[in-house]
Amino acid sequence: MDKPAKKRGFRLSTLLLLVPYAAMLWVPYYNRIEPELAGIPFFYWYQLLWIVIGAAILLPAWLAGSRSGAS
């Protein structure tokens, strides 16, 4: 019973890796000025923010990998 759960957890964290692709490739969503952040248009701070989110999104998959002992 233990194994399928582990596998599903792995799949979820792997699926997360696809989220940045959706966020970055749908350009019309972020190709705008408002809302500005400290004078920086949305287009720029949204993409800069995704550098940080993109790194954070790898963490669950990384933790899942090191927990299951697969080095």
Partner 1 sequence: MSMNPVAVTIFVVLFAFVTLLGFGASRWRRGDLNHLHEWGLGGRRFGTIVTWFLLGGDLYTAYTFIAVPALMFGAGAMGFFAVPYTVLVYPLMFAVFPRLWAVAHAKGYVTAADFVRGRFGSHALALAVAGTGIVATMPYIALQLVGMEVVIAALGIPMTLTIAGIAIPDAPLLVAFVVLAAYTYNSGLRAPAMIAVVKDALLYITVLAAIIIIPAELGGYAKIFASIDPKTLLLPPSQPGNFGPQSAYATLGLGSALALLLYPHSVTGLLSSSSRQSIKRNAVFLPAYSFALGLIALLGYMAVAAGVKAMPEFADGFKTFGNNFAVPALFLHSFPAWFVGIAFAAIAIGALVPAAIMSIACANLFTRNIYKEYINPAASHERECSVAKIVSLVVKIGALFFIIELPTQYAIQLQLLGGIWIIQTLPSVILGLYTRKLHPMALLIGWAGGIGAGTWMAAQSGFKTSTYALNIFGTVLPCYAALSSLILNIALAIVLSIAFNLVTQRPRVDATLAEDYG
State in angstroms the smallest separation of the CB of 6 from partner 1: 16
User: Is residue 31 a contact point for partner 1 (CB under 8 A)?
Assistant: yes
- Candidates 13, 47, 52; CA nearest to 30 is 47
User: Is residue 10 a contact point for partner 1 (CB under 8 A)?
Assistant: no
| List 27, 35, 67, 68, residue binding partner 1 (CB under 8 A) | 27
| List 8, 18, 67, 68, residue binding partner 1 (CB under 8 A) | 18
Query: Omega before 60 cis (within 30°)?
Result: no
Residue 69 and residue 63: Cα distance in Å, rounded? 10
